[in-house]
Amino acid sequence: MRYSQSFIPTVKETPADAEVISHRLMLRAGMIRKVAAGIYSYLPIGLRAIRKVENIVREEMNRAGANELLMPMVTPAELWEESGRWAQYGPELLRIKDRKDNSFCLGPTHEEVVTDIVRREVRSYRQMPLNLYQIQTKFRDEIRPRFGLMRGREFIMKDAYSFDVDEKGADASYEKMYQAYRRIFARCGLKFRAVEADTGSIGGNWSHEFMVLADSGEDAIVSCNGCDYAANVEKAESKVIESAEHAEPRPLEKVHTPAKKSIEEVSEFLQIHATSTVKMLIVKADEKPVAVLLRGDHELNEIKLKKIIGCDELEMATDEMIASATGATVGFLGPIDQKIRIIADTTVKGMKNFVCGANEVDYHLKNVNLERDFTVSKYADIRNVTHGDQCPRCSGGILEMWRGIEVGHVFKLGLKYSKALNATFLDADGKEQTVFMGCYGIGIGRTVASCIEQNHDENGIIFPLPIAPYHCIISAINPKDEIVSKAAEELYAELLKLGVEVLYDDRDERPGFKFKDADLIGIPLRIVVGAKNLVDGKVELKQRRGGETELLTITDAVSRIDGIVKEALGI
Ligand code: 9G3
């Protein structure tokens, strides 16, 4: 592509409302433009990067034996009613009506549609295992779309669905996808981790997320430094440590702690460590108040707690609910003489002579002890693990914390959708059985965005070659000079012949201006063709990452570039 004919509207200024670097750089590099909140146009080089990721995904899915199809974006309400999700989802499911007043929604995912296809077409155990996938535009009416392609309302997703005759088959299909995903993200040049994850509202019993490591990531993940345990903090189990303290219970003591409400304030005032305090929180679980106890320095994990309570809705209680349920004020809450149900984190079980609120404004209690002073209805793992915690799987390993961006998610679904939609088959004995399912997603735009989060510098994007919009850019210095344009044209033609994707900057612009654009859009290889070096028959090759430069003859430059490109693409 000749730059003079291209459409790459780069911008110097930093866009005001873009909070993360990938969003800022995609706007500045002319990759995307906003059309409405969370809805974007992909401009030519943005689309090229998207297509690169799609093709890597497609190749690896096909290699894993999956079949590509394409389902509609507009899906009928009836299918969603069958699964129960028409009622389950709120406004995130964008509902529309046709002229005959029939209800539809814009597909946020396609479990229902694909299960409908399979229940009509798959009759026999001999038609499975089966894996169907598509790369398609989805719509979810997010409350707060942000970060550009990272959390759009309209987005491109690769979604795959596996169908098996039994659980063993489903496990094998899951493992195949897991391995395909590892290959996909490695080929994209990403630093990532596969972590155990919560299945969320979708249901099912097992899942892994593929997380791109980036400080700007919205997810907290942990990994063990001693074994391969890795999990989303939402799901990470904390190791149960048996009663560590053997101290004799001391007499209860009420202490004046004027205006000391937070754990930091109380522990500083009493000159104790936060690990010797217990905090009580009140949550609202399906409208009912429940007290929760945690060691002072620990954080509540609402996902774990929700599972333990088995409720549908869980949120922090309002001050009014706290007052009416406990008779006390936030900052001074304590478990003694409470009427409501108390659930305590397992860590609290081993604590002796701790400090907690006295249920009286400006007072705390010292030397509080379980059983002697109050009782707990249930102990459970309800806290977030933290950096430095012991690994729940191996002995001696320590958990390390990272931030990550979820780019892929694989789920073992089991029978949830096949049962609801009655997707059955006849087994080898002619008996009717329900299909076992798995589902597997990759956010295509998010993969490009997270790649930019991981690969950039102060001058712009540094694309890994496999997803770069072009492999190489030729910057002709003063292309009006015939010697220059002749050499540049020759180089351009030779590289194209070899299948190298070249952007030829033939614009009549100053070198600095061209270099700024080349750096901003992140093309991995840049060749400068200028009169000065052409005197010796040379051109300059510079790598965007690392910045090394080499002076090469045109012939050598062509073979060097061809070599770098083939190596990076693994061909
Ligand atoms: C909805 C709406 C939003 C949703 C869903 C349904 C998330 C929903 C989870 C999944 C799970 C997998 C196939 C590919 C891999 C991921 N947000 N999820 O089901 F109706 Cl409005 O999408 N689906």
Report the pLDDT value the prediction gives residue 243, as an integer from 0 to 100.
Answer: 62
Q: Given the DSSP bridges, would you call strands 219-224 and 399-414 parallel, antiparallel or unpaired?
A: antiparallel
CATH number for the domain whose boundaries are 253-380: 3.90.960.10
pLDDT at 437 over 60: yes
What's the whole-model pTM score? 0.92
User: So what's the pLDDT on residue 425?
Assistant: 98
The mean per-residue pLDDT over the stretch 501-521 comes to 98
Q: Which of 61, 92, 202 to mutate to test the pocket of ligand 1 (most atoms within 8 A of CB)?
A: 202
Query: Would the pLDDT of 202 be above 90?
Result: no
pLDDT classification of 171: cutoffs 50, 70, 90: very high
* CATH architecture for segment(s) 12-72+108-218+402-453: 2-Layer Sandwich (3.30)
Stretch 498-507: mean pLDDT:
98
pLDDT for 269-295, tens place per residue?
999 999 999 999 999 999 999 999 999
pLDDT, position 200: 73
pLDDT of residue 17: 86
Query: Which of 61, 88, 109, 138 most suits a substitution to test ligand 1, by most atoms within 8 Å of the C-beta?
Result: 109
Cα-to-centroid distance, 426 and ligand 1 (Å): 29
Domain boundaries, the chain: 12-72+108-218+402-453, 253-380, 470-569
Q: Is 50 helix (H, G, I), strand (E, B) or coil?
A: helix
pLDDT band at 198; cut points 50, 70, 90: confident
Residue 16: predicted pLDDT: 87
pLDDT at 241: 74
Residue nearest to atom 15 of ligand 1 (CA): 441
Atom of ligand 1 nearest to the CA of 88: 20
Above 70 in pLDDT, residue 201? no
Q: Are strands 538-543 and 549-553 parallel, antiparallel or unpaired?
A: antiparallel
Average pLDDT score over residue span 337-353: 94
pLDDT of residue 199: 80
User: Quick one: pLDDT band at residue 204, thresholds 50, 70, 90?
Assistant: low
Compute the distance between CA of residue 356 and CA of residue 403 in angstroms, rounded to an integer.
Answer: 32
pLDDT above 70: residue 440 = yes
Could you tell me the distance, in angstroms and rounded to a whole number, from the CA of residue 6 to the centre of ligand 1? Answer: 37
Over residues 143-162, mean pLDDT: 96
Rounded distance from Cα 107 to ligand 1 centre (Å): 9
Closest-CA residue, ligand 1 atom 23, reads: 109
Does 242 have pLDDT greater than 80?
Answer: no
Q: Which residue puts its alpha carbon closest to atom 22 of ligand 1? A: 109
Confidence of residue 184 (pLDDT cuts 50, 70, 90): very high
DSSP 72: -
Rounded to the nearest angstrom, the distance between the alpha carbon of 436 and the centre of ligand 1 is 18
* pLDDT band (50, 70, 90) for residue 205: low
* pLDDT tops 60 at residue 318: yes
Report the amino acid identity of residue 14: T
Task: Compute the radius of gyration of the chain from its Cα atoms.
Answer: 29
Note the CATH number of domain 470-569: 3.40.50.800
What is the arithmetic mean of pLDDT over 437-457? Answer: 97
**With 80 as the cut, is the pLDDT of residue 554 above it?**
yes
- Residue 247: pLDDT band (50, 70, 90) is confident
C-alpha of residue 229 to centroid of ligand 1, in Å: 26
Q: If you measure from the C-alpha of residue 202 to the centroid of ligand 1, how many angstroms do you get, rounded to a whole number?
A: 7
Q: Is 370 helix (H, G, I), strand (E, B) or coil?
A: strand
Q: Closest residue (by CA) to atom 4 of ligand 1?
A: 108
Q: Which atom of ligand 1 is nearest to the CA of 200?
A: 9
Listed range (27-41, 68-82, 198-212, 328-342) with the worst mean pLDDT: 198-212
Protein residue with least CA distance to atom 17, ligand 1? 108
31: Cβ contacts below 8 Å, ≥ 6 apart: 42, 43, 45, 46, 49, 469, 521
On average, the pLDDT of the chain sits at: 96
The secondary structure of 167-234, three-state, reads HHHHHHHHHHHHHHHHHHHHHCCCCEEEEECCCHHHCCCEEEEEEEECCCCCEEEEEECCCCCEEECC
Q: What is the pLDDT of residues 401-428, one digit of tens each?
A: 999 999 999 999 999 999 999 999 999 9
Exposure class string for 83-122: b at 16+ Cβ within 10 A, else e: bebbeebeeebbeeeeeeeeebbbbbbbbbbbbbbbbeeb
Distance 208 CA to ligand 1 centre (A): 15
Mean pLDDT, rounded, for 337-343 = 95
CB atoms closer than 10 angstroms to residue 297: 17
How many whole angstroms from 173 Cα to the centroid of ligand 1? 19
Share of the chain above pLDDT 70, in %: 98
- Pocket around ligand 1 at a 6 A CB cut-off: 85, 89, 92-93, 108-109, 140, 159, 202, 409, 411, 439-441
Report the nearest atom of ligand 1 relative to the CA of 141: 21
- 203 confidence band (pLDDT: 50, 70, 90): low
Task: For ligand 1, atom 18, name the residue with the nearest CA.
Answer: 202
